[in-house]
């Protein structure tokens, strides 16, 4: 009887081992093959115990760079974001779809929805979490919101722009008439100042009206480098007058379908913004090059102080600017032009300056050459 019981225990042990092995195999398949970004961390020090393949791919790490390390020491999350998650766990024990910001190994910021709960693993309390990357979704929502604001402002501007411009033209005409009279000769500088101010107001109205127009651009197959080359003398003169430097580097890029006049205007606005953002003897760099995808890129990089997060959040909206006396209309026009070209404007900003990237759809042709 005793021998039989021992035999049964040995068979049960073998069965348990087989079940444990099967459970571990199922766990590995379910965990590592899951498309969601999954991780398990220690409840004691927060160090990573395990992460799945999707997590490693999204965050840009190798497995050995993660296991045993804590998120803070990897600089992948800010302390206040981590504290917010820990407080939620300590109070609720579990949470779902809490928005947080993470950084990949390459420094790219991700907006994620985090869900997690406490689990028991190998006799230890651990924290299981799942991430959903919603960066593109949030970016799209912001872009749609920006376009809605542009549309509303454009509709309002279209309704009142002409009503304002006509009286201004009348006032300007009478000022020019009085300016020619001999009796006002001594006041000529004052007349000139008033006329210039009216012209400035008229220019602002023109910018606003251009946002209200829904016309399509006249797209033609053009060499982007030639457009930059034609604008170069004007931009060099602007930089020289402000005691600043302009560097232009044009690479071999594909031909693009553009409205040359509008792209020239966009380049001028972006370059002028860059020059105004810099102190004297700083450099503005204009480059063209091709991405691996075949897209032509126009890059404008300044050495200014960068754009504040509050302004960057709403950049491209009329009357949102960090320049004293600025209207923000120039950049709003740039975004409007890019939209009509099915192009995309992206930017990076920091203490060392701001870089704008205009990504054109393509490629159309590979016949372009660098123009120096």
Q: Which of 356, 215, 344 is nearest to 277 (CA)?
A: 356
Domains 23-133 and 220-359 share a fold: no
What pLDDT does residue 282 have?
96
What pLDDT does residue 15 have?
41
How buried is residue 51: exposed, middle or buried, by Cβ count under 10 Å (0-12/13-18/19+)?
buried
Domain boundaries of the chain, sorted by first residue: 23-133, 138-212, 220-359
- pLDDT tens-place values along the chain, 372 residues long: 545 544 444 444 344 434 444 466 677 777 888 888 999 998 888 899 999 999 999 999 999 999 999 998 888 888 888 888 877 777 777 888 889 899 999 888 899 999 988 888 888 888 899 999 998 888 878 777 766 766 666 666 666 666 777 788 889 899 998 888 888 888 888 888 898 888 878 877 776 666 655 556 688 999 999 999 999 999 999 999 999 999 999 999 999 999 998 999 899 999 999 999 999 999 999 999 999 888 999 999 999 999 888 787 777 766 666 666 566 677 888 888 898 899 999 999 998 999 999 999 876 554 445 444
CATH superfamily of 23-133: PAS domain (3.30.450.20)
Q: Strand pairing partners for 288?
A: 250, 298
Question: DSSP readout, 4-73?
Answer: HHHHHHHHHHHHHHHHHHHHHHHHHHHHHT-SSEEEEEETTT--EEEE-HHHHHHHT--GGGTTT--TTT
CATH number for domain 220-359, candidates 3.40.50.880, 2.30.30.140, 3.30.565.10, 3.40.50.300? 3.30.565.10
Give SS3 for 302: coil
What pLDDT does residue 293 have?
84
What pLDDT does residue 212 have?
59
């Amino acid at each position: 009887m005793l021998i039989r019981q021992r035999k049964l225990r040995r068979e049960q042990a073998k069965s348990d081992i087989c079940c444990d092995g099967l459970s571990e195999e199922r766990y590995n398949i379910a965990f590592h093959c899951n498309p969601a970004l999954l991780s398990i961390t220690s409840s004691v020090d927060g160090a990573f115990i395990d992460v799945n393949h999707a997590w490693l791919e999204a965050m840009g790490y190798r497995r050995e760079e993660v296991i045993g390390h804590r998120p803070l020491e990897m600089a992948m999350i800010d302390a206040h974001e981590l504290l917010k998650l820990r407080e939620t766990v300590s109070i609720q024990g579990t949470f779902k779809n809490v928005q947080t910001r993470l950084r990949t190994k390459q420094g790219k910021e991700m907006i994620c929805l985090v869900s997690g709960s406490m689990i028991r693993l190998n006799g230890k309390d651990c924290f299981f979490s799942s991430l959903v990357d919603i960066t593109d979704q949030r970016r799209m929502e912001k872009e749609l919101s920006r376009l809605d604001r542009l549309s509303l402002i454009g509709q309002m501007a279209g309704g009142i722009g002409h009503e304002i411009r006509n009286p201004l033209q009348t006032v300007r005409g009478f000022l020019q008439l009085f300016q020619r009279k001999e009796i006002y000769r001594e006041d000529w500088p004052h007349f000139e100042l008033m006329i210039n101010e009216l012209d400035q107001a008229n220019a602002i109205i023109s910018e606003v009206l251009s946002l209200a127009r829904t016309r399509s651009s006249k797209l033609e197959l053009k060499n982007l480098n030639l457009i930059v080359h034609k604008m170069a003398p004007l931009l060099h003169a602007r930089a020289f007058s402000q005691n600043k430097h302009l560097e232009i580097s044009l690479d071999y890029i594909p031909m693009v379908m553009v409205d040359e006049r509008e792209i020239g205007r966009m380049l001028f606005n972006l370059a002028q913004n860059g020059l105004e953002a810099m102190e004297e003897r700083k450099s503005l760099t204009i480059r063209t090059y091709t991405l691996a995808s075949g897209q032509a890129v126009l890059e404008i990089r300044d050495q200014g102080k960068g754009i504040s997060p509050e302004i960057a959040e709403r950049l491209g909206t009329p009357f949102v600017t960090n320049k004293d006396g600025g209207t923000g209309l120039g950049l709003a026009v740039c975004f409007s032009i890019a939209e009509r070209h099915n192009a995309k404007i992206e930017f990076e900003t920091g203490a060392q300056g701001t870089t704008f990237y205009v990504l054109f759809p393509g490629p159309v042709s590979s016949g372009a050459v660098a123009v120096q």
